[in-house]
């Protein structure tokens, strides 16, 4: 399912216009992205939790063609999602 399909499903289920449902979906996604980007978690009971995780850089040595070369990666961040209990049960078909 893509964003447009989600908008269509929301408009049918909620009995609102597609324009209104598209605005709702866009607003929710914007709020989630802005909040996680600030480093705050978003927990939606039963659905799951969005969070920002720090990934530590690491060091190593490359031994290509017999020449050792030290390298180091930068610290970075990634987005994590952990599904909630109700979501997991729905996916399992319970």
Is this model's pTM higher than 0.85 or not? no
- The model's pLDDT over 66-77, given as tens digits with 9 standing for 90+, comes to 777 887 888 899
Q: Shortest CA distance to 48 belongs to which of 3, 12, 85, 13?
A: 85
CATH of domain 42-94: 4.10.520.10
pLDDT at res. 17? 96
The conformation of residue 14, written as its DSSP 8-state character, comes to H
Enumerate the H helices of 1-94 as residue ranges: 3-14, 18-37, 85-92
Tell me if 57 sits within 8 A of 72, measured CB to CB. Answer: yes
- The model's pLDDT over 2-40, given as tens digits with 9 standing for 90+, comes to 999 999 999 999 999 999 999 999 999 999 999 999 999
């Amino acid at each position: 399912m893509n964003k447009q399909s989600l908008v269509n499903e929301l408009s049918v289920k909620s009995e609102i216009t597609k324009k209104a449902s598209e605005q709702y979906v866009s607003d929710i996604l914007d709020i989630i992205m802005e909040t996680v980007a600030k480093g705050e978690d978003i927990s939606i009971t039963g659905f799951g939790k969005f969070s920002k995780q720090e990934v530590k850089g690491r060091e190593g040595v490359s031994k290509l063609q017999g020449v050792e070369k030290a390298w180091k990666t930068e610290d970075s961040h990634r987005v994590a999602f952990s599904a909630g209990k109700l979501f997991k049960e729905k996916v399992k078909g319970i």
